Structure 1
Amino acid sequence: MSGTTWLQRAASAITVFRESERPVVSLARDLLWVAAVVGGIALFLFLFSGTWPAVVTIESESMVPNMNVGDLVLVVDEDRFGPLTTWDDGRWTGHTSFGDYGDVIVYRPNGADSVHPIIHRAMTYIDTAAVVESGLGAYYDDPHGGYITKGDNNPYTDQPNLRIAGVGVIEPVKKEWIVGKALFAVPLVGYLPLHLAEFAVLVIIVILIHDFVIARRKEKNE
């Protein structure tokens, strides 16, 4: 009996929430709907891609002309839809993506979560990194194997020519540092995540205006 009473109260509260015309309740209802849609899309992307984040935005010109600033890139697990292929292997197998041989990967430089992941092409895989000096006077303190990567628009590979503040010289990419590989890109859509706060404010304003207009129409009809 108590269980039935609880269910009845919950159903009654949901009905009141759904049918209420109070502005605050109406706004909360709309925001919950938006959150449900966004959450559903995020869940679908995760299940499809097998990794997270499932989408990234191109923020630099390092991959021009094959990827441009503002492109929204769908990222999948490195072995989904075929094994990860390097540029070297792609020359022999004919595998291409984004205008060149091999796959483009998203990776956390030196495994760090404190900086944005890098999206560059996997050029080759080495079993052991020799202690290599670069023009920066950089070298690997703890040599290990991994992927050598390069931006299509860059003259040099990331290893060992790229240094990031707080991270150091970029080392060969271990497999556990890979977020995923790029599957395809949608031009310009990536500007939306770059301005997510502004977009959220715009959505709320649109919802408020919509609710205000609906309320005024009801008042006139009454």
Structure 2
Amino acid sequence: MMRNLSGLLAPAAAVLLVAVVVAAVAGAWPPFVAVESGSMAPEVERGDLVVVTSTDRFPWGGIVGAAEAGAPTTFGRAGDVVVFDPPNDGTRPILHRIAFPVSAGEDWTDRADPALLDGDCATLATCPAPYDGYVTYGDANGGYDQSVGIAPVVREEWITAKALFAVPNLGWFRVGVDAAIARVGLLPTAVGFGGLAAATGGFGALLLGRVTGRRAVRDEREE
């Protein structure tokens, strides 16, 4: 019984081990972000899984905006893509690109791309900048987050991680887990998904064992 139990739990343990290793390398937890909108399309689509790192993790340290000289390329365009979570905003964390940093009191529209502005400094609630921070945007959106009302100027302490690369479609599992947690709670979700992973792994191991056994019997008969 103990041997069967360990075999069933092995897949779940393997998934946890991979997550811990990735987190140790990336310096962020969780080390994955499931994309739930198309605001970073076409390079990052809804349902993709994005691997992230700490913003100060070597060799990816620091935050560089798209308008800065020598900006790194992330998801096909210049500038870092970050995860930020404005407090008391009522929305889920946002995965968007850094446009440029701003200073408190600055009329940041003077150096903004006019195509991404929905008004001038006199009409925007986020201009002049109320504090030091960053202007951000989604690649597929038609304006800066601070221009169209998606987010205020992003304080550096709100930025929790920086994106490294995306894996297509693997984020649907994370989206499903989050939806289940929101609906039934953490413990029932953990038990349910853990049992599903264990059962799937056990079924796979059983199937593989049967296939291997049949091959062994066939080889013995042929000899």
For this structure pair, what is the TM-score category when the shorter chain's length is used for normalisation? 0.5 to 0.7
Match of 2:170 among 189, 194, 207: 189
1:29-75 deviations in Å (ceiling 9; x for gaps)? 23442343222112111111111221111111111112111211110
How far 1:179 moved relative to its partner? Answer: 1.2
Q: Is 1:159 aligned with 2:159?
A: no
Matched, 1:84 2:63: yes
Selected match of 1:107 from 84, 98, 106: 84
Q: Secondary structure at the match of 2:33?
A: strand
Residue 50 of structure 1 is aligned with which of 27, 46, 52?
27
Q: Quote the residue 2:103 is aligned against.
A: 127
Say if 1:185 and 1:107 are closer, same or farther in 2 by CA, change over 3 A: same
Q: Deviations over 1:87-143 (max 9, x none)?
A: 111xx21532111111111111x23596421000000110115699x77x8735992
1:206 and 2:204 matched: no
On the 8 A contact 2:81/2:95 being kept in 1, the answer is yes
Change (3 A) 1:87 1:140: closer
The equivalent of 1:65 in structure 2 is 42
Matched, 1:175 2:156: yes
The one-letter code sitting in structure 1 at the alignment partner of 2:51 is L
The Cα shift of 1:183 comes to 0.6
What is the aligned partner in structure 1 of residue 125 from structure 2?
Answer: 139
* Letter of the structure 2 residue corresponding to residue 54 of structure 1: P
User: Unaligned stretches of 5+ in structure 2?
Assistant: 110-117, 178-188, 214-223
The residue matched to 2:56 in structure 1 has which SS? coil
**Partner-residue secondary structure (3-state), 1:181:** strand
Give the counterpart letter for 2:167 in structure 1: V
Q: 1:26·1:211 contact (CA, 8 Å) conserved in 2?
A: no
- TM-score after normalising by structure 1: 0.68
Query: Does the 8 A contact of 1:27 with 1:211 survive in 2?
Result: no
Q: Quote the offset at 1:173 in angstroms.
A: 1.2
TM-score normalised by L of structure 2: 0.68
* CA shift for structure 1 position 78: 1.3
Distance change (3 Å), C-alpha of 1:26 and 1:113: farther
Query: Which of residues 118, 132, 136 is equivalent to 1:149?
Result: 136
The answer as to whether partners of 2:34 and 2:175 remain within 8 angstroms in 1 is yes
Moved more, 113-122 or 59-68: 113-122
CA gap of 1:46–1:129, structure 2 versus 1, over 3 A, is: farther
The separation in 2 between residues aligned to 1:55 and 1:116, in whole angstroms, is 15
